[in-house]
Amino acid sequence: MIFLFLRTIAIGLFGAVIFTVIGLPLPWLLGSMIVTLLFQLKSSWKIVWDSTFRNIGLVIAGYTIGYAFTLEALQDMVNYFPMMIIINIIFLLLFIGVSFAVSKWARLDIGTAMACCAPGGLQQVIVFAEEQKTLNITVVTFYQVIRLLAIITLVPFIVSSNNGGAAPDNTTESYSLILFGLLILCYIVGMACKLIKVPTAYLLGPVFFIMICNLLSIQVPRMPENLLHVAQLFIGIYVGLLLERDKLRKMKSHIVYAVGSCVILISVAFLISEWMAHYFMDFATSFLSVVPGGVDQMGIIAASIQAEVTVVTSFQLFRILFLSIIIIPFVKYMVRRDQMKKVRE
């Protein structure tokens, strides 16, 4: 088993090195993800990954994001609240339209189609689909994984082609016992958050823990860039292994619809981001804030390209909240209505 883990890490590192040599954006995340995915789909080698490594990556990312949350940054977030509501309403209307189109063309029941097209929150949507016995969990997982892979693959290229992140932070980076002690505490906080069902617990736990340290004026060391590369590597390998060969064979008829729905969501996010970039913030920050990815992936990309991490994280957290209190209850209502309609027939 140890050999399999080492082989998987070697494959991820190989991808990161190749992407670094070629000069592609975010090589530690994209390179490890894409090469691991190719090995998963095309190679006869068995590659495995333990969720602990992914959790370590999330803890490092969460620490980095939390470090950026200062009192001033939180005060600035209030100004963006109306925009968060408007953007999520736009995506809600888009989500409904795309869901009905996918339901019709892919011949899926409306509940499954809506779960497939839900913008963001992969883990929350899959858990919801598992709880609803009438939904096709295999199809939902496939659509959500394709969306995540497409967004993580395309977003760095789109962002890197539009210059405009924040200026690099020149704060001194250093390894210290305090840093590693805080990372251990962050992991423990993540475990505690997992027990109380906090979404993406190993990311959000450290975010709030380090943010509270900042607000209490407790000095915390800045995350060295090399550790951020480790986080990207671990998360990239994890995401690359989400799409399994057997599922891809079974879902061939759905690939066009899954990719098409992703293109629509990303295109609308791009247009909104271009508008926001003219009036409110740089393009990199606006696009990472608007695109329906996960708070963990978009947060670590933002930290890696020197975008405004606090803005990106706030927008993505609000999306999760909107998904939980508006979109998922709406899908539940549509599932019940569809079931009652079938009973009457």
Reported as a single tens digit per residue, the pLDDT across 237-250 is 988 888 877 777 77
pLDDT at 169: 54
Q: What DSSP letter does each residue of 253-291 carry, written as one string?
A: GGHHHHHHHHHHHHHHHHHHHHHHHHHTS-HHHHHHHHS
Task: Give the tokens for residue 91.
Answer: 């995506």
pLDDT, residue 173, reads 62
In tens, the pLDDT along 43-71 reads: 888 888 888 999 999 999 889 888 888 88
Q: For 224-271, write each residue's pLDDT tens digit.
A: 889 999 999 998 898 888 887 777 777 888 889 999 999 999 999 999
Q: Retrieve residue 326's tokens.
A: 């508006």
The structure tokens listed for 106 are: 């892919």
How high is the pLDDT of residue 288? 92
Closest by Cα among 66, 302, 13, 332 to 202? 66
Positive or negative, the CA dihedral 114, 116, 117, 120 is positive
Question: What is the distance between the alpha carbons of residues 282 and 293, in angstroms, rounded to a whole number?
Answer: 18
Name which of 24, 55, 13 is nearest 233 in CA terms.
13
The residue behind tokens 């803890």 is 59
122-174 pLDDT, tens digit per residue, is 777 877 787 777 888 888 888 988 888 888 888 888 887 665 544 555 555 67
Q: 32 is in which domain, residue-wise?
A: 2-344
* Residue 83 tokens, joined: 């925009």
**Sign of the dihedral through C-alpha 38, 42, 47, 52:** positive
pLDDT in tens, 168-223: 555 556 788 999 999 999 999 999 999 998 877 898 899 999 999 988 988 899 88
Token pair recorded at residue 25: 């954006």
**Rounded CA separation 326/328 (Å):** 6
Q: Give the C-alpha distances (Å, rounded to integers) separating 169 from 26, 39, 118, 280, 333.
A: 18, 36, 35, 21, 47
How many domains does the chain contain in total?
1
- Tell me, what DSSP letter sits at residue 252? G
Query: Is pLDDT above 70 for 291?
Result: yes
Q: What is the pLDDT at residue 341?
A: 77
Greater model confidence, 73 or 19: 19
Return mean pLDDT, the chain: 86
